[in-house]
Structure 1
Amino acid sequence: MSIVTKPSRNQQPSTSFLNSGVPEKRLLKGTLGLGFILMAFLVVMPPVFTILGGYQSPLPIWLREVRVWARGGLEDGFVASNGPKDKLLGGLLPAGFHEGTCLSRYQSASYRKASPHLLSHYLSRRLRKYEALHRRCGPNTALYNKTIEQLKNRHNNGTAGCNYVVWIPFSGLGNRMLTLASAFLYALLTNRVLLIHPDASMRDLFCEPFPHTSWLLPSDFPMKGFPKFSRTNPRCYGKMLRRKASANSSDDAAAQRPPATVYLYLFHDYDDFDMHFFCEDDQQFLRKIPWLVIESDNYFAPSLFSIPSYEEELSRLFPKRDTVFHHLGRYLFHPTNTVWDMITRYYQAYLAKAKERVGIQIRIFNRGSPFMHMLDQILACSLRENLLPDVNLKEPIVSTTNKVVSKAVLVTCLHSEVYEKMKTMYYEHPAVTGEIVGVYQPSHEEVQQTKEETHNKKAWAEIYLLSLTDVLVTSAWSTFGYVAQGLGGLKPWILIRSENMTMPDPPCRRALSMDPCFHNPPTCSCNGKRDVDKVLVSYVRHCEDLSSGLKLVHEA
């Protein structure tokens, strides 16, 4: 996951106002100067106008707006978005970046509607606090080097002052983005610095999210065998507990001198010992470990809400519980200039002029499934929910020259059969509503190539394009679709899986929330003290597409 630090020769920064490269201090001084002049004008002139012609001064209303603006948020503790031109997304994103190095960070506000899901003022402050921590403790800083020396000597004397979460990538791009967001949330809750171990398949995908200091783990990281961990590694927390029988026994790991590093195995096949990561007593022990290494294929953020010591902080960060990935995903994941060019060129060519954009994300887990079955289910869902119009098979298409596309349908799939059939249907026959429907598919790679950089760039571009749609239909269990819905703040219609190739009734179901599903939540009872289903019933539900999974919902 190499990060763009300067524009390439073929990708010069835009000369528009947003990317003109004017120093921020000069802009700030000019803005403040104009502000003082305007304030003086509004204070002095209303009395003059009142004397001359009975003009009613707007000053009290204007001063109220200034007070709200100065506080950086609304009366209820949320930060207001100033519309689609609010390039800092209501205080979510930090200032301080050279905009030409990552055009998407601030240009994205021009491509998507302003989010209706307001950011809590507390989350904005915590992100700024985290950025200061990252700058102080990030790679190659004095404090980082001090903790590295402890790691080399396998000592944990707790005096370095900085603690870390190291994320190791695994599985496909959707899984990686979900687990990375979960790891960052855990870093926020525990005042740790998030560092990621990049691999070749993730080069040139994401811009650096934190100002001043990289989130990439340096190549000279000294841990032996890194990153080839497994659940059998002596540093694996589950193995430590299996060896000690319990982290709460008289001779448990907490009673020993804490190690300098612990590996957390949070995969779909983890056992009760690995699941103890989500228990309060175990978290108390893990706070003593300066280096935690996380590897997972799960969006485990929902189960962090089950840990008592984090509940209050999480409720302040996310008063609307289902906005966790929406806010953190938009904060962390910005396409590099290379990927952003792919996104913007395709969007302008096929989607920009449409009155409505419909995203259809198809994941076929069983390659032997007939494509016509999937197409029939998509059409049944789309017609039932009035997402797409039916066609008149008895009439030929009338020339659509110079007619504006009413609905642009963006299809993403590894295969092209469903797209070809749907495109032909709307190309050869008119819609019964008279609408012009265009169907588009950016790529069809046939097979998932997780380790290929070019494949991941296309996947990231398509996820982002799906997140720019107005309406979204997704496949059950697909993390690709989860990321798109979270970034876009969309509650999709989820295509219900059918094992026997019969049409499900209903063919699709509206998602309860935009937050992704945690496919494999912990089932251990934390020594009988806690049951996640009972404790979190008010804002956690079982997933629409996987009954054993859990997801965060807005507590109405």
Structure 2
Amino acid sequence: MDIFQMERSGSSTFVLIGEVAKDNGTGEVAENVTTPSESEDKHPSGTESMVVDKLLGGLLATGFDEESCISRYQATSYRKTSPHKPSAYLVSKLRKYEDLHKRCGPNTESYKRALKKLSSSHINGTTDCNYIVWTPSNGLGNRIISMASSFLYAVLTNRVLLVDHGTDMAGIFCEPFPNTSWLLPMDFPLTNQFYSLQPGNAHSYGHLLKINNMNISTVSQPPSFLHIYLAYNYDKHDKLFFQDQNQGFLQKVPWLILKSDQYFVPYLFLIPSFQQELGKLFPDKETVFHHLVRYLFHPSNQAWGLITRFYRAYLASADQKIGLQVRVFDRKASPVNVVLEQILGCIKKEKLLPQVDEQKPIASPSKNQTLRAITIASLYPEYYERIKSMYWMKPTVNGDVIGVYQPSHEEVQHFGNNIHNMKAWAEISILSLSDILVTSSWSTFGYVAQGLGGLKPWILYVPAGNQPTDQPCPRGMSMEPCFHFPPDYHRVSNTRQRLDTGSLVPHVRQCEDASKGIKLFNAKQL
């Protein structure tokens, strides 16, 4: 597979941090809105007047056992209050989905009846509940953005989302829906087919179209299940999933088994039958992922312990928190010294950190001294070492104190490892607590952090070659992730022509960091 599809994970540094700060991170937060007391758990920034909206404007439901997932209602006290409120329609729709999931989820009578349909090759009539089963592909960042996409598709099509977390994602996230589970039961009868989910699979929707000469109307009876393959290497037949005229047929299929590593939400906004509903759900198109990721993904208590121990040890006393995520997909093509020059050029050009004073060995005393903490997330230690050394060896020109921290540096990405995924999730969450965020182009790891934090990042372009670029890290126009590999061609007079999404809807445009990708923007700000 392409190297840029891979995402990173963490390492053992968190164990040392746990030795430094052994607080278990178990603060209690009162119902809905609370003014935190002097407890460090309740207002880590130490701001007495901070008011915490623990339900995120109604995005989150009540009815959970709070001790089973401390982060669900506590995480908001570690971040600045988001100015982006969910629409009343989205809040209502989520409550209705939760009722559906409770009625149709694992081990319910409706679920058991739906399972029996899988033994039939075709379906006659309708079913009580329809399902979309998400299966994992590639790294944690890819998995999170594709799960969020699958959930939105489930909401739009009145399906129940079940996820196969396997062993390498076990215990990383809390359950997102009250009084039920989104985890696919281990005895699901089609599990043995998940590994064969590839382009051209005999049970795939693309293959069904192919053998019926691209005319789905010739299929007399829908099958009991179909594979939907939407990963980066999907073929032209798989891409026909996004055609509006095919959605009616898919509605008749009780079980869709989906594999994707993409944030395919932007293309849902191009499907006419979904557009009105999406417009009501998300009046501000730039906030789709921000709301989805904060609704669905809450660190488990184990992951939350990693996050809060790091925060209290290194970030809690900082006046400003900067997150820098450096993802290098090819170390040979992007040498360390060139990437470092690009990072330092970014810091200088965008004035993200003060410059060092080359003339003075010690900073002049200042009453208004600012403490800035920069967290560096990277597989490699060299960027951290260089920046840490720069601010240790010389004072800053304005007297600010700079703390530089890196939770881990694994050197290589580990797949299929639960502990590494746990630490990767912790690092994503730590980055999301930043006031200023710099992410690497093409990185889904960074996409998740910016979505959680509600941040428009500065996008670090990692140079491929021996020279840094003139624009090292321009500011992103949107906090939405990029759909890297959309179906971007259509036939006009027997020629292949790029699809101009901006001519269809104003809020779907080309990504800043991927020329063939598309993403959602707030059209009013373009």
User: Which TM-score bucket, shorter chain as reference?
Assistant: 0.7 to 0.9
Return the match for 2:143 from 162, 172, 176.
176
Question: Which residue of the partner structure matches residue 203 of structure 2?
Answer: 235
**Whole-Å separation in 1 of the counterparts to 2:415 and 2:126:** 40
Report percent identity of matched pairs: 51
| Residue matched to 2:295 | 331
Pair 1:411 & 2:376 matched: yes
Matching residue's letter, 1:506: Q
> Which residue of structure 2 aligns with residue 347 of structure 1?
311
For the 8 Å contact 1:181–1:329, the answer to whether it is kept is yes
> What residue in structure 1 maps to residue 19 of structure 2?
none
Distance of 1:152 and 1:516 partners within structure 2: 38
Q: 1: distance between equivalents of 2:145 and 2:492?
A: 29
- Per-residue deviation, 1:397: 4.0
**1:356: which partner in 2?**
320
Structure-1 residue corresponding to 2:247: 283
Q: How many angstroms apart in 2 are the aligned matches of 1:264 and 1:143?
A: 23
Which residue, 447, 472, 477 being the options, matches 2:412? 447
1:534 offset after TM fit, Å?
4.5
Cα distance in 1 for partners of 2:198, 2:463 equals: 34
Task: Flag the structure with more relative contact order, 1 or 2, with Cα contacts below 8 A and sequence separation at least 6.
Answer: 2
One-letter code aligned to 2:342: Q
Aligned CA RMSD, in angstroms, stands at 2.5
Q: 1:202 aligns with which of 169, 183, 203?
A: 169
- In structure 2, stretches of 5+ residues that fail to align are 1-21, 34-48
Q: Where does 1:415-430 land on structure 2 (aligned, <5 Å)?
A: 415-430=380-395
Return the match for 2:213 from 224, 240, 245: 245
Give the superposition deviation at 1:547: 1.1
Q: Which ranges in structure 1 are unaligned for 5 or more consecutive residues?
A: 1-9, 19-23, 29-81
Q: 1:479 to 1:377 in 2, by over 3 A?
A: same
Q: Residue 114 of structure 1: which of 58, 72, 81 is its match?
A: 81
Match of 1:263 among 227, 234, 240: 227
One of 443, 461, 466 as aligned partner of 2:431: 466
Residue 378 of structure 2 is aligned to residue 378 of structure 1: no
Q: Which residue of 2 aligns with 1:225?
A: 192
User: 1:187 is matched with which residue: 154, 172, 190?
Assistant: 154
Q: Do the aligned partners of residues 462 and 98 (structure 1) sit closer, same or farther apart at CA in structure 2, a change above 3 Å counting?
A: same
Distance 1:266 1:408, change over 3 A: same
Task: Report the secondary structure of 2:118's partner residue.
Answer: helix
> Match of 1:504?
469
Match of 1:215 among 161, 167, 182: 182
**Which of 272, 281, 285 does residue 308 from structure 1 map onto?**
272
Q: In 2 relative to 1, CA 417–235 (structure 1 residues): closer, same or farther, beyond 3 Å?
A: same
Distance 1:283 1:526 in 2: 20
Cα distance in 1 between the residues matched to 2:163 and 2:303: 20
* Partner Cα separation in structure 2 for residue 324 and residue 454 of structure 1: 29
Please, what TM-score do these two structures have when normalized by structure 1?
Answer: 0.83
Summarize the Cα distance change of 1:429–1:542 in structure 2 as closer, same or farther, 3 Å threshold.
same
Distance 2:214 2:502 in 1: 24
Aligned residues of 1:517 and 1:543 also touching (Cα < 8 A): yes
Q: Helix, strand or coil for the counterpart of 2:439?
A: strand
Distance 1:17 1:323, change over 3 A: closer
CA contact (8 A) 1:102 1:207 kept: yes
1:527 positional shift: 9.2
Shift of 1:122: 0.4
The aligned residue for residue 513 of structure 2 is 545
Q: Deviations over 1:380-432 (max 9, x none)?
A: 111111111110123224599x9976210010000100100100110110011
Distance change in 2, residues 1:524/1:121 (3 Å): same
1:151 aligns with 2:115: no
Paired AA for residue 173 in structure 1: L
CA shift in 2, pair 1:552/1:215, >3 Å: same
2:523 counterpart letter in structure 1: E
Structure 1 window deviating more from structure 2 (351-360 vs 497-506): it is: 497-506
CA contact (8 A) 1:84 1:113 kept: no
Does residue 90 (structure 1) correspond to residue 57 (structure 2)? The answer is yes
Deviation at 1:225, TM superposition (A): 2.9
Which amino acid in the other structure matches residue 384 of structure 2?
Y
TM superposition shift of 1:318:
0.5
Greater Rg over alpha carbons, structure: 1
Cα distance in 1 for residues equivalent to 2:194 and 2:208: 19
Q: Determine if contact 2:264/2:486 at 8 Å carries over to the other structure.
A: yes
Helix, strand or coil for the counterpart of 1:198?
Answer: coil
- Residues 139 and 399 of structure 1: is their aligned pair in 2 closer, same or farther, counting only changes over 3 Å? farther
- C-alpha distance in 2, partners of 1:301/1:333? 17
> Which residue is 1:514 aligned to?
479
**8 A Cα contact 1:405 1:436, kept in partner:** yes
SS in structure 1 of the partner of residue 404 of structure 2: strand
Residue correspondence of structure 1 range 63-78 to structure 2 within 5 A = none
- Separation in 2 of the partners of 1:177 and 1:198? 11
- Cα distance between partner residues in 2 of 1:532 and 1:279: 16
CA drift of 1:226 comes to 2.8
SS at match of 2:376: strand
Contact 2:25 2:304 (C-alpha < 8 Å) held by counterparts: no
Q: Deviations along 1:317-368, whole A, 9 cap, x unmatched? A: 0000011110000000000000000000100111111111010000011122
Q: Equivalent residue of 1:439, what SS? A: strand
- What secondary structure sits across from 2:168 in the alignment? helix
For the residue of structure 1 that corresponds to 2:192, the secondary structure is coil
Supply the distance in 1 between the matched residues of 2:285 and 2:52 (Cα, whole angstroms). 26
Deviation, structure 1 residue 159: 3.2
- Does the 8 Å contact 1:154/1:259 carry over to 2? yes
How big is the shift at 1:278? 0.6
Q: Do the aligned partners of 2:502 and 2:508 also contact (CA within 8 Å) in 1?
A: no
| Residue pair 1:406, 1:435 contacting (<8 A) in 2 also | yes
How many residues are aligned here?
483
Where does residue 299 of structure 1 map in the other structure? 263
* TM-score using structure 2 length: 0.87
Q: Is the 8 A contact 2:363 2:396 kept in 1?
A: no
Supply the distance in 1 between the matched residues of 2:233 and 2:112 (Cα, whole angstroms).
Answer: 35
**Aligned pair partner of 2:92 in 125, 138, 141:** 125
Mapped to 2, the partners of 1:15 and 1:489 lie a distance apart of: 24
SS at match of 1:411: strand
Structure (1 or 2) with the greater helix fraction: 1
Which amino acid in the other structure matches residue 304 of structure 1? L
Instruction: Note the C-alpha offset of 1:160.
Output: 2.5
Compared with structure 1, are the counterparts of its residues 118 and 318 closer, same or farther at alpha carbon in structure 2 (3 Å cutoff)? same
Whole-Å separation in 2 of the counterparts to 1:482 and 1:86: 24
Which residue in the other structure is 1:366 paired with? 330
